[in-house]
């Protein structure tokens, strides 16, 4: 399979490369998928395979047979022999049952705004296929197979950022996926390995013919939470990575501020044993181990230091207590999203064993909506904490002797250090806290003839989370730059040279070296990361670091010891 390039969209700055890695296929239908599985397929192009489990395949066919029999007998079933939503009182004849499904695609083709990132659409296709493999939706294996083919061939429908209220699932976004899968019309566009193409042409290149939807199939494809959940899964995955990097940044900052490790002593946190708090304290002990820049006070002793405070300020000392509930919250969101990933979310659902169908509401994306509201709130809190640390580093009154704005060459009087970088960070942090406002509680009660009279706004919450994650990625890049410059300057104050590798803990040295590698500046003993203002454009460094994080590069690899605990 050719390498795929993530099409740039105005909704996301991230680019991803899909290489069709077949060494460890993700099997759809045999077992529950994880957020990591979703990321592997959506981001890395890991190939997927539908299970060949006979019982599962027979269940899929049995659900189709149930629908066919219901149509033939005229049994009243919502969206099969009736109209949709507030027009469900309209009876649909057997002769119109298939046309009803195709018309559903057409009247829902109303998306607006920018295109979603391809990785999020790939995640949505994976989850839609996974849902249908449960055999409760009345959809042919052939149509499910199309999603497998699209994923493995790098064919991704264009889906738009506006159109779903998260009530009856993601009707409008999923109409674009459905129309593309069946090759309904050239107006449905796809990305085919980086090339824009109309859906019928893409099918021909895949040696596939257009499909006509059978009864229930359009509704089964479009009535579900797969797009919002796919976006949410990717956002949770990204946030876990950014949280791990943020932990590394805090460890750099504590060393740069000549902080103590005493605040992370197990005795303190066993006395208030919230899981996230215990985890954060334990991680910080590990991250700071064998550092020459921290005050080693795990023995319980306290050190007076030339008019400095006997204990660290709250942003250092209370780090586990502050980050703990955030870590716990992200963990809870991840659990809820994984349940949604492995759920059947269309309506009606078919109980093959009891030959019954049930009208329900699994399509309501309330868990996703509230989860993504909370995720954005947590991202704002993470940014707020980093912002406080940056302020300490930049202010000589609070930095325990570091130069103002972390100046490098103080002999060059026009140098202003990282003053501009801090201002850029200051412009981002309030936006992230603003994005932390909820949207799940803001819904129109009059939607679709008052049928969808309670909505989750899960899709909008998820797309806002995508925006929040992308912005936070840039903020983390800025925080890393501050941390690297600060430990260089602290090293000079301690040793008379600037190469922080000699003094950092082994865990943070890996992160420090990764950042220096990404920005193209090898550490030296005669100057810190930033020496003179006019020797580099820091905007380029922000972009390089952010791109490396997005690609899962060396910076992400440097925090691999933290990531398994978060995942």
Task: Enter the pTM of the model.
Answer: 0.93
Binding residues for (E)-cinnamate: 223, 311, 317, 347, 419, 448, 451
| 205: in domain | yes
Query: Same domain, yes or no, for 202 and 260?
Result: no
| 68: in domain | yes
The single-letter DSSP state of residue 25 is: P
Residues forming beta bridges with residue 195, ordered by sequence position: 192
Query: Same domain, yes or no, for 46 and 102?
Result: yes
Query: Same domain, yes or no, for 59 and 190?
Result: yes
Query: Same domain, yes or no, for 216 and 256?
Result: no
- Cβ(132)–Cβ(144) under 8 Å? yes
| 1: in domain | no
Q: How far is CA 506 from the centre of its chain?
A: 29
Q: What is the DSSP string of 415-439?
A: --TTHHHHHHHHHHHHHHHHHTS--
Query: Same domain, yes or no, for 476 and 447?
Result: yes
Nearest CA among 69, 91, 92 for reference residue 138:
69
For 32-62, b/e burial (b = at least 16 CB within 10 A) is: ebbbebbbbbbbebbbbebeeeeebbebbee
Match 């049995």 to its residue by tokens: 62
* CATH number of the structural domain spanning residue 123: 1.10.275.10
Token representation of residue 451: 């049928």
- What φ, ψ does residue 140 adopt, rounded to 5°? -65, 150
| 20: in domain | no
Q: How far apart are CA 507 and CA 50, in angstroms?
A: 41
Query: Is 176 noted as a catalytic residue in this protein?
Result: no
- Name the active-site residue from 78, 160, 358, 498: 78
* CATH number of the structural domain spanning residue 348: 1.20.200.10
Query: Same domain, yes or no, for 129 and 242?
Result: no
| 81: in domain | yes
Query: Same domain, yes or no, for 133 and 259?
Result: no
| 415: in domain | yes
Query: Same domain, yes or no, for 460 and 530?
Result: yes
Out of 177, 197, 222, a domain closes at: 222
- Helix or strand holding residue 350 (H, E): strand 349-351
Write out the chain's pLDDT in tens, 567 residues: 232 233 333 333 344 444 566 558 999 998 899 999 999 999 999 999 999 999 999 999 999 999 999 998 888 888 787 767 677 677 778 888 788 889 999 989 999 999 999 999 999 999 999 999 999 999 999 999 999 999 999 999 999 999 998 888 899 999 999 999 999 999 999 999 999 999 999 999 999 999 999 999 999 999 999 999 999 999 999 999 999 999 999 999 999 999 989 999 999 999 999 999 999 999 999 999 999 999 998 888 887 667 778 888 889 999 999 999 999 999 999 999 999 999 999 989 999 999 999 998 899 999 999 999 999 999 999 999 999 999 999 999 999 999 999 998 899 999 899 999 999 999 999 999 999 999 988 866 677 666 667 788 999 999 999 999 999 999 999 999 999 999 999 999 999 999 999 999 999 999 999 999 999 999 999 999 999 989 999 999 999 999 999 999 999 999 998 877 766
Nearest CA among 371, 363, 364 for reference residue 336:
371
Helices (H), 257-365: 266-270, 275-288, 314-317, 319-341
How do strand 112-115 and strand 160-162 relate by DSSP bridges?
Answer: antiparallel
Query: Same domain, yes or no, for 327 and 407?
Result: yes
Out of 164, 197, 222, a domain closes at: 222
| 199: in domain | yes
* Count: domains in the chain: 2
Query: Same domain, yes or no, for 238 and 209?
Result: no
Query: Same domain, yes or no, for 217 and 261?
Result: no
Domain that holds residue 148: 26-222
Out of 222, 248, 264, a domain closes at: 222
Contacts of 537 (CB under 8 A, 6+ apart): none
- Cβ(70)–Cβ(49) under 8 Å? no
| 326: in domain | yes
Maximum Cα–Cα distance across the chain: 90
Query: Same domain, yes or no, for 251 and 213?
Result: no
The single-letter DSSP state of residue 116 is: P
């Amino acid at each position: 399979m050719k390498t795929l390039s993530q099409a740039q969209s105005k909704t996301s700055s991230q680019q991803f490369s899909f290489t069709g890695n077949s060494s460890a296929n993700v099997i759809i239908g045999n077992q529950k998928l994880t957020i990591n599985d979703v990321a592997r397929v959506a981001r890395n192009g890991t190939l997927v395979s539908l299970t060949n489990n006979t019982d599962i395949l027979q269940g899929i066919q049995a659900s189709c047979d149930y629908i066919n029999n219901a149509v033939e007998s005229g049994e009243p079933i919502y969206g099969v022999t009736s109209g949709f939503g507030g027009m469900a009182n309209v009876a649909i004849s057997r002769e119109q049952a298939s046309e009803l499904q195709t018309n559903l695609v057409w009247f829902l083709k109303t998306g607006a705004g920018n295109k979603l990132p391809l990785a999020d659409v790939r995640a949505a296709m994976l989850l839609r296929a996974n849902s249908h493999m449960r055999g409760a939706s009345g959809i042919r294996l052939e149509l499910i197979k199309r999603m497998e083919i699209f994923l493995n061939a790098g064919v991704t429908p264009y889906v738009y950022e506006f159109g779903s209220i998260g009530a009856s699932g993601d009707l409008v976004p999923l109409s674009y996926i459905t129309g593309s899968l069946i090759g309904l019309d050239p107006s449905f566009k796809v990305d085919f390995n980086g090339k824009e193409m109309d859906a019928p042409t893409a099918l021909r290149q895949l040696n596939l013919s257009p499909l006509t939807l059978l009864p229930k199939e359009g509704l089964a494809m479009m009535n579900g939470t797969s797009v919002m959940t796919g976006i949410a899964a990717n956002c949770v995955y990204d946030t876990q990575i950014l949280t791990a990097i943020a932990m590394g940044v805090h460890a750099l900052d504590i060393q740069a501020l000549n902080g103590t490790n005493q605040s992370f002593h197990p005795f303190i946190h066993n006395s208030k044993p919230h899981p996230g708090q215990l985890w954060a304290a334990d991680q910080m002990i590990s991250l700071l181990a064998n550092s020459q820049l921290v005050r080693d006070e795990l023995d319980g002793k306290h050190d007076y230091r030339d008019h400095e405070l006997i204990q660290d300020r709250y942003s250092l000392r209370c780090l586990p207590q502050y980050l703990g509930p955030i870590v716990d919250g992200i963990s809870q969101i991840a659990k809820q999203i994984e349940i949604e990933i492995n759920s059947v979310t269309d309506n009606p659902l078919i109980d093959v064993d009891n030959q019954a169908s049930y009208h329900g509401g699994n399509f309501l994306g309330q868990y996703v909506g509230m989860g993504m509201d909370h995720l954005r709130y947590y991202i704002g809190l993470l940014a707020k904490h980093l912002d406080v640390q940056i302020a300490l580093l930049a202010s000589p009154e609070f930095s325990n002797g570091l130069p103002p704005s972390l100046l490098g060459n103080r002999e060059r009087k026009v140098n202003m250090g990282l003053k501009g970088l801090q201002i850029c960070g200051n412009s981002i942090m309030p936006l992230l806290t603003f994005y932390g406002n909820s949207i799940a509680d803001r819904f129109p009660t009059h939607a679709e003839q008052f049928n969808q009279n309670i909505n989750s706004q899960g899709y909008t919450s998820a797309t806002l989370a995508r925006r929040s994650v992308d912005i936070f990625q840039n903020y983390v890049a800025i925080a890393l730059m501050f941390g690297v410059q600060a430990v260089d300057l602290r090293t000079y104050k301690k040793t008379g040279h600037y190469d922080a590798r000699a003094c950092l803990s082994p865990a943070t040295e890996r992160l420090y070296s990764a950042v220096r590698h990404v920005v193209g500046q090898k550490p030296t003993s005669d100057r810190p990361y930033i020496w003179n203002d006019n020797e580099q454009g820091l905007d380029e460094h922000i972009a390089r670091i952010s791109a490396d994080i997005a690609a899962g590069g060396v910076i992400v690899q440097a925090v691999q010891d933290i990531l398994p605990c978060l995942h």
